[in-house]
DNA sequence: ATCTCAATGTAGTCAATGACAACATTGAGA
DNA sequence: TCTCAATGTTGTCATTGACTACATTGAGAT
């Protein structure tokens, strides 16, 4: 039986993701992971210089997964730049719910602060993907006169904030996924409405001529 | 000379705010605070049951400060509900920059998760203030057809997300405050534009007739 | 004036943790 | 078969949060 574990590194990351999803990042401990995997308390140090490095690796994985997740959603949405950007926004929020551990690691202050080359590269690619899509949406008429920087801060900020609120039991009752999907749908339409890119609001006090809104 | 410190409780909170602002919540330690204030390592336990309780108290203070800060900004903005809500959004984001420690404590997952009565009450009051203002803005024509729940999630989510990104050196170059003010101004106008509540976007591809946008 | 006692601070201790150093085992390839 | 880099283990230390027992203070009752 193995003195060598085989693939301790990936097992550590996988178990860390479980722990974070279940109990939060605060509850993560290197010794705890080692216990869970049946190795000695110092074994993790062979694969990660310190606790921050493990979290950074997890965050990097998450960053890449998110980029791919968002890009897939855009491609499924077709060619319309407005629909693509809306799909990306929804995917971004959903990712934070489907892969909470990756998302938490990715957005952890310590990870972002002392990021290594791999993490920075991944974050840069992600930003580029979103930035390109936003530019395309602007070219299609959405917030056409706003600076790209502002548009990005607005849309990324919104999805990030909504993700945080959906993850927080204080701000959102953790109920059925179907209601959450509708909420996401409605929120993202307030960022960008592909069916109505030029106007977000009805012209004036005028009764019921618009059925587009999804309601629970 | 005091065996009794006098007002250790408030000094602990004040010093904790300094530490958090300077080095982040992760760097906070009860023993460190005790050292900084020249008391024994167990002294803080006379005022806070545990580390989480201290953070909770700080978060509660922050929650109340934020509510007052936002309310003051609204009152300075006058009677127009749209201007009031925009002013509140800007104040919310600015609060996170002016009082980062209070804001970080207030939004810390652990604080929100196991919140006590005082924190919950403060959070509820804050939500009520924002909710009332959002309803008034809707009555004035802003997102009039949307559900209040969606409107709140959208607007609060956006200011929270933008706050997070402004605090994160990865997403925002920590430059002069004047540029940040312009950024905040532009972002909040994408949430609600008091000068143009019915429409966020220009009607179509049409060149330069709108000078309202602030640019750096 | 003194007594009482609750509030507040101190000293000592323990377990958990991250980090580090020294040593052991394994297996791939020279 | 030898070598050695990769990988795992044991031992240790400082820091920290939490707990217990004890000391000091000062306000108010007597």
User: Measuring from the CA of residue A46 to each C1', which nucleotide is nearest?
Assistant: D7
The segment(s) of chain B belonging to CATH 1.10.10 are 1-48
pLDDT, tens only, B56-95: 999 999 999 999 999 999 999 999 999 999 999 999 999 9
CA of A192 to C1' of D18 (A): 51
User: Measuring from the CA of residue B47 to each C1', which nucleotide is nearest?
Assistant: C8
The CATH class of B1-48 is: mainly alpha
The segment(s) of chain A belonging to CATH 1.10.10.60 are 7-48
The segment(s) of chain A belonging to CATH 1.10.357.10 are 52-191
Closest by CA to A47, choosing from A18, A11, A21, is A11
Tokens representing B44 are 């803080």
**pLDDT in the model for residue B209:** 42
Sign of CA dihedral B48, B50, B51, B52: negative
Q: Over its length of 216 residues, how does chain A's per-residue pLDDT go in tens digits?
A: 567 788 999 999 999 999 999 999 999 999 999 999 999 999 999 999 999 999 999 999 999 999 999 999 999 999 999 999 999 999 999 999 999 999 999 999 999 999 999 999 999 999 999 999 999 999 999 999 999 999 999 999 999 999 999 999 888 887 888 999 999 999 999 999 998 876 554 444 434 444 444 544
Q: How far is residue B171's CA from residue B201's CA, in Å, rounded to a whole number?
A: 26
**pLDDT in the model for residue B126:** 98
Q: At what angle do helices A148-167 and B177-191 cross, to 10 degrees?
A: 70
On the question of pLDDT at B200 being above 90, the answer is no
Contact A17, A65 (CB under 8 A): no
**pLDDT in the model for residue B18:** 98
User: From the candidates A150, A163, A196, A203, which should be mutated to test the interface with B, based on the most B CB atoms within 10 A?
Assistant: A150
* Strand C within 7 A of A23 CB: no
The segment(s) of chain B belonging to CATH 1.10.357.10 are 58-191
Any idea which fold A52-191 has? Tetracycline Repressor; domain 2 (1.10.357)
Q: How far is residue B181's CA from residue B11's CA, in Å, rounded to a whole number?
A: 32
* Strand C within 7 A of A14 CB: no
Q: What angle do CA A113, A70, A61 make, to 5 degrees?
A: 45
Question: What is the homologous superfamily of the domain A7-48 according to CATH?
Answer: Homeodomain-like (1.10.10.60)
pLDDT, tens only, B11-63: 999 999 999 999 999 999 999 999 999 999 999 999 999 999 999 999 999 99
Q: Does domain B58-191 sit in CATH 1.20.20.10?
A: no
Residue numbers of B between 159 and 198 with CB closer than 8 Å to A:
159-165, 168-172, 183, 186-187, 190-191, 197-198
On the question of pLDDT at B199 being above 70, the answer is no
Closest by CA to A25, choosing from B109, B169, B30, B21, is B109
Contact B53, B137 (CB under 8 A): no
């Amino acid at each position: 039986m193995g003195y060598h574990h085989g693939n301790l590194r990936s097992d550590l990351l996988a178990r860390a993701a479980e722990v974070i999803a279940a109990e939060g990042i605060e509850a993560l401990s290197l010794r705890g992971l080692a216990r869970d995997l049946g190795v000695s308390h110092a074994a993790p140090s062979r694969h990660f210089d310190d606790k921050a490095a493990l979290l950074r690796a997890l965050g990097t994985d998450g960053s890449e997964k998110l980029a791919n997740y968002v890009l897939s959603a855009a491609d499924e949405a077709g060619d319309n730049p407005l629909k693509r950007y809306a799909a990306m926004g929804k995917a971004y929020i959903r990712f934070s719910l489907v892969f909470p551990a990756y998302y938490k690691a990715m957005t952890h202050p310590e990870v972002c602060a002392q990021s290594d080359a791999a993490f920075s590269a991944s974050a840069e690619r992600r930003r580029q993907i979103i930035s390109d899509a936003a530019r395309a949406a602007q070219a299609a008429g959405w917030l056409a006169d706003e600076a790209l920087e502002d548009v990005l801060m607005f849309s990324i900020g919104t999805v990030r904030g909504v993700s945080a609120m959906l993850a927080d039991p204080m701000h959102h009752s953790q109920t059925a996924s179907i209601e959450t999907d509708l909420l996401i749908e409605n929120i993202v339409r307030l960022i960008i409405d592909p069916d109505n890119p030029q106007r977000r609001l009805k012209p004036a006090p005028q009764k019921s001529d618009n059925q587009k809104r999804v309601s629970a």
